[in-house]
Chains A and B, each alone.
Chain A
């Protein structure tokens, strides 16, 4: 099935998105097994329904399939004046924690009362600029910093209310925009393309596959959310893929500023962070992906340079500095309607002894290693497209003095993911966590458990 051959008006927009976004590996990767990639091998008689086609098209918007890249390349060749594309996803939710308002968790900033919330509101702006040239950006609109912790307010929260000059100074709350990525890509060949700018670090499954309509569970796994790899980097990424028969080998090589306080715009040291990923895919009776990723860089926090007249030179004292190294492995297995996902990620930070981060008088951050894994399995039924799933996570944070209370985090999740129409996904998930080896105060605390609901849409 070729997306360029679609004629149904209802799927045209999605198809355009596929063509444009398909050239950007990881625009939004389909994590759901039935969010299948474009498949030229599907016989005509076995072609899916219109709904399935639309669903597949939407899913492919979120894919990094090489066929999508090729389609995009063809599109760029044929139509260098392609229109600016806008698309995205959003989710809203309801959370019901099962701990009390007097619990340890409530006192640690985890709300105990049930609440509704707007989660993600992400908008993509993409354009094929010319033959082989493309641009992609992703913006997340948030209410932050409203409600963020603040030591300077009586209620301990930031209030972003300001007078509205356009409405007789009635108060309104401003929000913010997070630039998730902004990259310019030149594709010389399917074996070699270059992306420059701010891009999501190519590792594992979930970091790139972050579109809430396509991920199976509700929240990111801890090992992803805690950024054992940097979530995104500013720099250059080389990538390409080679496929033959049922196999595809894909590579990524990255060079960036690495992590730092202002890493999207400056490198606070002279160290170039390097990374890479190899992924092998096999498409046969089932679809199997196996990947290995690596990252090595230096984090430097330093004072803004100031010229010292007395010493006749600029000074920029380093406050803290460490070298870090991460690696990870991931596997995806889709067999019929069964989907299995798993990742393992490891991160090591080794400080320069003279530049350990001061956390309190006389106390410095030690070298740290963090690691963890998750495993998810789900099965999609025909009925309403319902997918029951289970998720297990195990994470050893070891992330400095702020987490000395929790040594290890284990959580168990069970949920339902169903898609009443192709662009809408409804999820409900129960979770329960344990903290082995924690201080007694945590072991004596209430059970950490709750229920989440999410409504996610692609647009």
Chain B
């Protein structure tokens, strides 16, 4: 039998379906690609999430600006480079002797007896800090208690974490020496241990070998693919 298209009489309901479809289409027009997040948030197209604008952090779903002299790292306000949080909670020029340069086992010792331990830096040299902590509360603000080490010590925020980068050279000489140029597009600490979980607070040690990256990376919590 030769195929015949439906006659005009059936096209009326087909048109009805088309009209219905258009109505449904318009009903779905509530989507605004430029306005996919809360009013105070911005859309991060790289990782497909709503985040607070640069320089702000999330507090109870609201975006709060960090105080002056502070920046956001890993979803937290931390002191800007070269500054340290004092007892009053304000970031200012560093606490004398804290994180000052030293040479582990060498002649350059730490000047402040409160921070007598010269801890080696993965970028070379060392920095002065305290040891024997049991949790972050025992450390200066922004420091992480490295309980995985023996003895434990207060680890400073790795230098360069969060610094924007496009190539390995952008992270050279920093403790965050690995440039993750695909997603985070920033300098990250590499070589962490999955079992020790030896990343700074707010970060997690992530196995990214499936993505062609041999060494584990410390990535902001929740971003480990």
- Could you tell me which A residues sit within 8 Å of B by CB distance? 104, 106-108, 247, 249, 278, 280, 282, 284-286, 288, 290-292, 294, 325, 327, 329, 335-336, 346, 348, 350, 353-354, 356, 359-369, 398, 400-401, 403-405, 439-441
Query: 14 pairs across A/B with beta carbons < 8 Å?
Result: A104-B212, A278-B20, A292-B24, A327-B27, A327-B28, A348-B30, A361-B58, A361-B202, A361-B221, A362-B72, A364-B50, A366-B49, A367-B35, A404-B48
Is B31 an interface position by the 8 A CB rule?
A: yes
Chain A residues with Cβ under 8 A from B47's Cβ?
363, 401, 404
Contact between A107 and B48 (Cβ–Cβ < 8 Å)? no
Contact between B28 and A107 (Cβ–Cβ < 8 Å)? no
B104 to chain A, nearest CB (A): 33
Contact between B211 and A363 (Cβ–Cβ < 8 Å)? no
Chain B residues with Cβ under 8 A from A294's Cβ?
24, 27
Chain A residues with Cβ under 8 A from B222's Cβ?
359-361, 363
Chain A residues with Cβ under 8 A from B52's Cβ?
362
Contact between B49 and A365 (Cβ–Cβ < 8 Å)? yes
Residue of B38, B49, B61, B182 near A401 (CB, 8 A) is: B49
Interface positions of B from 59 to 85, Cβ below 8 Å from A: 61, 72, 74-75
Residue of B25, B37, B58, B223 near A366 (CB, 8 A) is: B37
Contact between B6 and A327 (Cβ–Cβ < 8 Å)? no
CB 8 Å contact bits of B128-141 with A (1 = contact, 0 = none):
00000000000000
B194 to chain A, nearest CB (A): 11
Smallest Cβ-Cβ distance to B209: which chain A residue: A107
A153 to chain B, nearest CB (A): 14
Contact between A107 and B210 (Cβ–Cβ < 8 Å)? yes
Chain B residues with Cβ under 8 A from A361's Cβ?
58, 74-75, 202, 220-222
Residue of B25, B31, B51, B211 near A362 (CB, 8 A) is: B51
Chain B residues with Cβ under 8 A from A368's Cβ?
36
Q: Chain A interface: which of B9-17, B92-100, B148-156, B163-171?
A: B9-17
Residue of A107, A286, A291, A364 near B3 (CB, 8 A) is: A286
Chain A residues with Cβ under 8 A from B87's Cβ?
none
Is B57 an interface position by the 8 A CB rule?
A: yes
Chain B residues with Cβ under 8 A from A439's Cβ?
182-183
Q: A285-B1, A400-B48, A404-B46 are in contact. Are A367 and B31 (CB under 8 A)?
A: yes
Residue of A285, A353, A403, A404 near B2 (CB, 8 A) is: A285
Select the residue from B4, B30, B35, B46 with max chain A CB neighbours within 10 A: B30
Is B39 an interface position by the 8 A CB rule?
A: yes
Smallest Cβ-Cβ distance to A293: which chain B residue: B24
Is B21 an interface position by the 8 A CB rule?
A: yes
Chain B residues with Cβ under 8 A from A350's Cβ?
30-31
B41 to chain A, nearest CB (A): 7
A396 to chain B, nearest CB (A): 12
- Could you tell me which B residues sit within 8 Å of A by CB distance? 1-4, 6, 10, 13-14, 17, 20-21, 24-25, 27-28, 30-32, 35-39, 41, 43-44, 46-52, 57-58, 61, 72, 74-75, 182-183, 202, 209-212, 220-223, 225
Chain B residues with Cβ under 8 A from A354's Cβ?
38, 61
Chain A residues with Cβ under 8 A from B10's Cβ?
247, 280, 282
Q: A278-B17, A327-B25, A401-B49 are in contact. Are A360 and B211 (CB under 8 A)?
A: no
Q: A-B pairs with the 3 shortest C-beta distances?
A: A107-B210, A360-B222, A361-B75
Q: CA separation between A249 and B211, bound complex, in Å?
A: 52
A198 to chain B, nearest CB (A): 25
Chain B residues with Cβ under 8 A from A108's Cβ?
210
Contact between B48 and A403 (Cβ–Cβ < 8 Å)? yes
A162 to chain B, nearest CB (A): 28
Q: CA separation between A401 and B50, bound complex, in Å?
A: 10
Chain B residues with Cβ under 8 A from A365's Cβ?
49-50
Chain B residues with Cβ under 8 A from A353's Cβ?
37-39
Q: A294-B24, A327-B24, A356-B50 are in contact. Are A285 and B4 (CB under 8 A)?
A: yes
A441 to chain B, nearest CB (A): 5
B207 to chain A, nearest CB (A): 9
Q: A361-B220, A439-B182 are in contact. Are A292 and B20 (CB under 8 A)?
A: yes
Chain A residues with Cβ under 8 A from B44's Cβ?
363
A151 to chain B, nearest CB (A): 11
Q: CA separation between A280 and B16, bound complex, in Å?
A: 10
Q: A249-B13, A361-B74, A361-B202 are in contact. Are A325 and B61 (CB under 8 A)?
A: no
B27 to chain A, nearest CB (A): 7
Q: CA separation between A401 and B44, bound complex, in Å?
A: 10
Contact between B210 and A362 (Cβ–Cβ < 8 Å)? no
Q: CA separation between A286 and B6, bound complex, in Å?
A: 9
Contact between A367 and B49 (Cβ–Cβ < 8 Å)? no
Chain B residues with Cβ under 8 A from A369's Cβ?
28, 31
Contact between B50 and A292 (Cβ–Cβ < 8 Å)? no
Residue of A327, A362, A404 near B58 (CB, 8 A) is: A362
Q: CA separation between A360 and B47, bound complex, in Å?
A: 11
Contact between B17 and A366 (Cβ–Cβ < 8 Å)? no
Contact between B3 and A285 (Cβ–Cβ < 8 Å)? yes
Chain B residues with Cβ under 8 A from A403's Cβ?
48
Q: CA separation between A346 and B24, bound complex, in Å?
A: 10
Contact between B211 and A441 (Cβ–Cβ < 8 Å)? yes
Contact between B43 and A335 (Cβ–Cβ < 8 Å)? no
Select the residue from A288, A292, A335, A365 with max chain B CB neighbours within 10 A: A292
Q: A325-B28, A364-B41 are in contact. Are A284 and B6 (CB under 8 A)?
A: yes
Q: CA separation between A400 and B37, bound complex, in Å?
A: 12
Contact between B38 and A364 (Cβ–Cβ < 8 Å)? yes
Contact between A346 and B28 (Cβ–Cβ < 8 Å)? yes
Chain A residues with Cβ under 8 A from B21's Cβ?
292, 327, 329
Chain B residues with Cβ under 8 A from A284's Cβ?
4, 6
Contact between B48 and A440 (Cβ–Cβ < 8 Å)? no
Q: CA separation between A285 and B24, bound complex, in Å?
A: 31
Chain B residues with Cβ under 8 A from A107's Cβ?
209-211
Q: A325-B30, A360-B222 are in contact. Are A441 and B212 (CB under 8 A)?
A: yes
Contact between A360 and B38 (Cβ–Cβ < 8 Å)? no
B215 to chain A, nearest CB (A): 15
Q: A107-B211, A286-B3 are in contact. Are A360 and B36 (CB under 8 A)?
A: no
Q: CA separation between A9 and B49, bound complex, in Å?
A: 61
Chain A residues with Cβ under 8 A from B17's Cβ?
278, 280, 290-292, 329
